Amino acid sequence: MREAEQKSCNKVQNLGATITYIRRYLYLIAFDIVEYDTFDAVSGKPNNNTNSNASQELDFLRQKLTAEQIAVITNRNKVNDISELSPEIISAYARKLKNKGPSN
């Protein structure tokens, strides 16, 4: 068994992800279920559209946020640089900034 290690998640969330994933596959084995898994099929493959959107949103964040605000975001998400954030988190911060203005 290997524990989930998702960025921007705490230890309890990672443990929950691990348990959920293992439980799912135990049910598949126990009931002999065969399922086409779209997540596993695309996991690890780059999505050009998502990557280009995230890149644009990352540039937007770098232009609009101060160094202090970026430091707060990186500390909060336990990463060294905002470029290490997932595309979903980058999008969330960009949406928040576009909708409400600069805030932490």
Give the count of beta carbons closer than 10 Å to the beta carbon of residue 21.
Answer: 14
What is the predicted pLDDT for the residue at 43? 59
Length of the chain: 104
pLDDT tens-digit readout, 66-91: 999 989 988 888 888 888 888 888 88
Q: Could you please report the per-residue DSSP string of the chain? A: ------TT--HHHHHHHHHHHHHHHHHHHHTT-----HHHHHTTS--HHHHHHHHHHHHHHHHHS-HHHHHHHHHHTT-SSGGGS-HHHHHHHHHHHHHH-S--
Q: How far is the C-alpha of 57 from the C-alpha of 2, rounded, in Å?
A: 32
Task: Decide: pTM greater than 0.95.
Answer: no
pLDDT tens-digit readout, 22-61: 998 898 889 887 766 665 555 555 555 556 777 888 888 8
